[in-house]
C-alpha cells in the first residue's frame, strides 16, 4: 500500500491529490496517517495536495474540504512542497 500510493500519474498527481479532488475524506485521512510525507509531493504543475484542497470542487459542502485541510496542515503546518 504505501509504495503504490506514491506513484504519480502522467499529470504528476498521487493518490492523495486524487482523493482530495474527489472529496474522499476517508482516503485522505488514511493516506496521510500511513504516509504523511505525501503532503509534500507536487504534481506536474507544481501543485501540492494543499493547493488541490484549496481549489473549489463541484458538489462540495465545505465540511469535507475543511477536514482535508486540517489533515494536510497537521502533517505540514507550513504547506511547503519538498520535491
pLDDT along the chain (83 residues), means of 10: 87 95 91 92 93 79 82 77 54
pLDDT value at position 82? Answer: 57
pLDDT value at position 79? Answer: 61
pLDDT value at position 80? Answer: 58
Sequence-separated (6 or more) residues with CB below 8 Å from residue 65: 23, 53, 57
Distance CA 56, CA 30 (A): 22
Distance CA 47, CA 63 (A): 22
Distance CA 53, CA 48 (A): 9
Q: Is 13 left (phi over 0), alpha (psi -120 to 50) or beta?
A: beta
pLDDT value at position 27? Answer: 94
pLDDT value at position 19? Answer: 93
pLDDT value at position 55? Answer: 83
Amino acid at each position: 500500500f504505501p509504495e503504490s500510493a506514491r506513484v504519480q500519474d502522467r499529470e504528476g498527481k498521487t493518490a492523495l491529490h486524487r482523493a482530495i479532488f474527489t472529496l474522499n475524506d476517508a482516503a485522505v485521512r488514511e493516506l496521510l496517517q500511513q504516509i504523511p510525507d505525501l503532503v509534500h509531493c507536487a504534481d506536474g504543475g507544481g501543485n501540492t495536495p494543499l493547493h488541490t484542497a484549496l481549489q473549489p470542487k463541484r458538489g462540495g459542502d465545505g465540511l469535507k474540504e475543511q477536514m482535508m485541510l486540517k489533515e494536510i496542515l497537521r502533517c505540514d503546518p507550513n504547506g511547503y512542497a519538498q520535491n
